[in-house]
Chain A
Amino acid sequence: SYVLTQPPSVSVAPGETARITCGGNNLGSKSVHWYQQRPGQAPVLVIYYNRDRPSGIPERFSGSNSGNTATLTISWVEAGDEADYYCHVWDSTNHHQVFGGGTKLTVL
């Protein structure tokens, strides 16, 4: 089965840029989606189809996907961005959905 690998944690100071990676075999050939989950809350979609932003998501959130790595970039990080972030793809070999293990973003 397909595996997505994320770093357990990323820390940045306010105003800096956070980059959260998601690794997988030939991931660039797949469509990657990203979710933000604040403590005690349901996940919220922040990026879909690698780089598209849903309405209401700030332009500070952007995404890219190439080779074996997809990246969620959060510019001008704010305290309110502190959350867990998950990448997500569809595994066409078995019609399963796959999530990365999640990355906890800490704003210092």
Chain B
Amino acid sequence: QVQLVESGGGVVQPGRSLRLSCAASGFTFSSYGMHWVRQAPGKGLEWVAVISYDGSNKYYADSVKGRFTISRDNFKNTLYLQMTSLRAEDTAVYYCAKVGCSSPNCHFDFWGQGTQVTVSS
């Protein structure tokens, strides 16, 4: 069965960096685009970034563009999110999500359980 397991979260000071990982199993990872979605405490879902199945295309939310970098290693079946210049407003649970098809207007058919990132001095 599909499994997505995020890791790398923690408490970090403003301005510092953190790298999140999402280990995938149960499907052909190299065939699917992947997303990061976050959820601030008590708030709704906010899309963060997407990477195509082969890593050739990446898009970012305006709130993280220039600070976050999404990447993937199809040999290790792992998705990454490198976060730099972190701000208090980046505090959230970060989920990785798998797309259910190959078109850009696709749904997210599986989600990880999330990893908590807290930005605080």
Question: Which residues does A use to contact B, with CB under 8 Å?
Answer: 1, 30-31, 33, 35, 37, 41-45, 48-49, 54, 84, 86, 88-90, 92, 94-102
Contacts and interface: CB of A to CB of B under 8 A. Distances in A.
A86 B47 contact: no
Contacts of A42: 95, 111-114
Contact of A99 (B44, B100, B106): B44
Interface residues of B, number: 23
A98 B109 CA distance: 16
B45 A95 contact: no
Given A43-B108, A45-B110, A86-B45, 9 more contacts: A35-B108, A37-B45, A42-B111, A43-B45, A86-B44, A88-B45, A89-B105, A97-B37, A99-B45
16 contacts: A30-B105, A33-B107, A42-B113, A45-B107, A45-B110, A49-B107, A86-B45, A88-B45, A90-B104, A92-B104, A92-B105, A95-B104, A97-B50, A99-B37, A99-B44, A99-B47
Q: Give 6 closest A-B pairs by Cβ, nearest first.
A: A48-B107, A90-B105, A97-B47, A33-B107, A102-B44, A42-B111
A47 to B, nearest CB: 9
Interface of B: 35, 37, 44-47, 50, 59, 61-62, 95, 100, 104-114
A92 B106 CA distance: 12
A43 B105 contact: no
